[in-house]
Structure 1
């Protein structure tokens, strides 16, 4: 199989999962598409070396995480957030409202904190997997997770009961084995 066909096969197979990760990281469909395109272009240039890897999709995920964090650093220097949306009466159990509140709170986390939460709880990855993807230690993942959940509780107190289950002892690394 030639280089282009091999890369197309990889992209076709993993594009959907990578786009989902990009969307969860960015919170925006268009930015997610841009992020995915950026990662795939970067991979295409390195494809002769990457296709021999056992898991090139792991490389793609790590590249995506690094690229996202890099983008956020650049954007943070030049953009100012607009005001919060006005409050409206709602029931705390309204799942649509909770999703909106969660999304708004996630967007106010640092890039690393948001990345840790997305990889850890949405993709249900182990602390070791997240550390490998982010290129940091397991201890950093644990502390970033702790700080991110504390920040979410401060930003959106109505999420606190649901967040408490994420730090329960049965979610620890040892219990998952």
Structure 2
């Protein structure tokens, strides 16, 4: 099997998984697709190196999170803020109102804290794995997790009007 065929097979099998990680980071399916596209393009460029990684999924997940964080730091993103919209996809089971509230609150959490929360609780990574993915210390992961959870709690405990105002800013 050629390198291109290996790459295509891997990406085809992991595309939906990558989208499921990207969406909680950015809260927009179109932006999630853009993040995934950028990450898999970078993966293609580094495929020879990436395919030799001990854990290819962890390598690609790290690339995706770093693409998200880099996009958050760009000046374009600070000047142009996309408005939060509700997902056009139905929630998978559970309390839909609660899921929408959590998504709105997660969108209001600062990007680095949001990335930490997504890696820790959505991807179920350990503190050490999250630190490796974010390129920081385990202490930073712990503090970002604590701050992110505190922000989420305060937003979820607040009246709905406060949550709606957070969306608009």
TM-score between both structures, scaled by the size of structure 2: 0.80
Write the distance in 2 (CA, Å) between the matches of 1:56 and 1:122. Answer: 18
Shift of 1:39: 0.6
Instruction: Name which one, 1 or 2, has greater alpha-carbon Rg.
Output: 1
Is 1:131 aligned with 2:131?
Answer: yes
Per the alignment, residue 112 of structure 1 pairs with: 112
Distance 1:98 1:155 in 2: 13
Query: Which aligned pairs between 1:139-154 and structure 2 lie closer than 5 A?
Result: 139-154=139-154
Where does residue 22 of structure 1 map in the other structure?
22
Deviation (angstroms), 1:80: 4.8
TM-score normalised to the size of structure 1? Answer: 0.76
Residue equivalent to 1:49: 49
Q: What is the CA RMSD across the aligned residues, in angstroms? A: 2.3
Q: How does 1:165-176 map to 2 (within 5 A)?
A: none
Structure 2 unaligned blocks of 5 or more:
85-93, 160-169
When residues 150 and 121 of structure 1 are mapped into structure 2, their CA distance, relative to the original with a 3 A threshold, is same
Q: Which has the higher contact order (CA 8 A, sep 6+)?
A: 2
